[in-house]
Amino acid sequence: MDSSFEALVSLPRIGDEAPHFKAVTTQGPINFPQDYRGNWVILFSHPADFTPVCTSEFMTFASREPEFNALNCKLVGLSIDGLYSHIAWLRTIKEKIEFKGMKNVEVNFPLIEDITMEVAKKYGMIQPGESSTKAVRAVFFVDPKGIIRALIYYPLSMGRNFNELKRALIAMQTADAFDVATPADWQPGDDVIVPPAGSCGLAKERMQCEDEELTCADWFFCTKKLSKEHIAEACEKEITI
């Protein structure tokens, strides 16, 4: 495989330390991920300024930024356009664009200038099958230690589901706080999955229903209740979807 192609699509993996970079943004220079230690971060890319899908996404992220901040999560955007293009686009969003009842929307989180595509290449945001000059809609969840915990990629044509991004964030925080897993279509307040039994003795206890907090369909599949309020208390956050 051509080495230049590999450089474009090389992806950091779940569990890797987030690739380091310094960049100019609409909110000043940043040193990533060092500047965000202690916070979760959603780092996301978009194909280009002054495009309609990207505009709808930035308006949605900006309008919902307080919800993510309440979950100890910062937002950082990126495109390979220049800083002045970013500034002009964000001003246009605030002054002219209305979408789904949102208007006069001001984007306060940083939008990275990446004309050289240095950051986009580090994060595999340029995928030649889609475009060699535009970043796909990538989303990276970075935890407070600077570790990549999840990544989601969307094609250029499809806008992101922001309820799902928030749900994924809460699910990871819940897993960390309670040492549990979250089942398919989980929402805060639904039952969670406890780790499988690690010994024959524990498996027997579970099947004999000796732990009243658990509901076990079999030794490896046990759930327990975990209220939205309990999650919020443990994480010291307001949990809403």
- Under 8 Å between Cβ of 144 and 37: yes
Neighbour tally for 88: CB within 10 Å: 14
Residue 6: what pLDDT?
47
Q: Mean of the pLDDT values across residues 222-226? A: 92
Residue 19: what pLDDT?
96
Q: What is the pLDDT of residues 136-158, one digit of tens each?
A: 789 999 999 999 999 999 888 89
Question: For the chain, what is the domain count?
Answer: 2
> Is 166 a member of any domain?
no
Q: What is the pLDDT of residues 81-133, one digit of tens each?
A: 999 999 999 999 999 999 999 999 999 999 999 998 899 889 988 776 665 55
- Under 8 Å between Cβ of 67 and 240: yes
The encoded tokens of residue 19 equal 């690739």
Query: Domain check: are 17 and 136 in the same one?
Result: yes
Query: Domain check: are 148 and 222 in the same one?
Result: no
Query: Domain check: are 70 and 148 in the same one?
Result: yes
137 known ligand binder: yes
Query: What range defines the domain where residue 209 resides?
Result: 172-235
Residue positions annotated with a catalytic role: 54
Residue 173, SS3 per DSSP: helix
- Under 8 Å between Cβ of 148 and 33: no
> If pLDDT is split at 50, 70 and 90, which confidence band does 234 have?
confident
Q: Mean of the pLDDT values across residues 167-191? A: 95
| Percent of the chain residues topping a pLDDT of 70 | 83
> Is 149 a member of any domain?
yes
